[in-house]
Amino acid sequence: MANGFHGTADSWERITKPLTLLDPELEAFGNGKGLALGKNTKNWPDREFRWTDRLGRLIQIFLESESHLTWTLWICAYEDRDNQRYWRTKTLKKAVSIEQLQRNLSGDLEDGWREVTGWKSEVLYSAK
């Protein structure tokens, strides 16, 4: 994932198309929270909400396995202090099918949003 996608246009279509099934529900969630929906950031299949209040915060669905077409939903809060990154993460769904993500997407997004917005600076740990 760190280096992005390097395959063919057909392969890109195959691995990004499943996410379009989630887009209406993701857009509705983002609109309700005042968050913009990011798509395919860093040249990798994903959907994300990224915002900053006191901390940087992220809710993201990304392609876990290109060969199995599985997806991961995770949340993250972070901040930089003393030239060091501090963060906290939690995986809500790991390596699941798009159908498994769809089953309770709104509930999972609400739960993730509630949890990640509740995290304070004191609960972050060094990323090193």
pLDDT digits (tens, 9 = 90+) for 8-56: 888 889 999 999 999 999 999 999 999 999 999 988 999 999 999 999 9
Res 58: pLDDT: 98
114 occurs within a structural domain? yes
With respect to residue 28, please indicate whether it lies within any of the assigned structural domains.
Answer: no
How far the first Cα of the chain sits from its last, in Å, is: 20
Structural domain of 99: 1-20+52-128
Alpha carbons 43 and 120: distance in angstroms, whole number? 30
| Residue 41 belongs to some domain of the structure | no
Q: Residues near 25 by Cβ (< 8 Å), separated by ≥ 6?
A: 102, 105, 106, 109
pLDDT of residue 3: 60
User: What tokens were used for 102?
Assistant: 């769809």
Residue 33 forms part of a structural domain: no
119 in a domain, yes or no?
Answer: yes
pLDDT of residue 1: 44
Strand 56-65, strand 46-52: pairing: antiparallel
Q: Is 34 within the bounds of a domain?
A: no
Residue 4 covered by a domain: yes
Q: Total structural domains in the chain?
A: 1
The whole model's pTM is what?
0.92
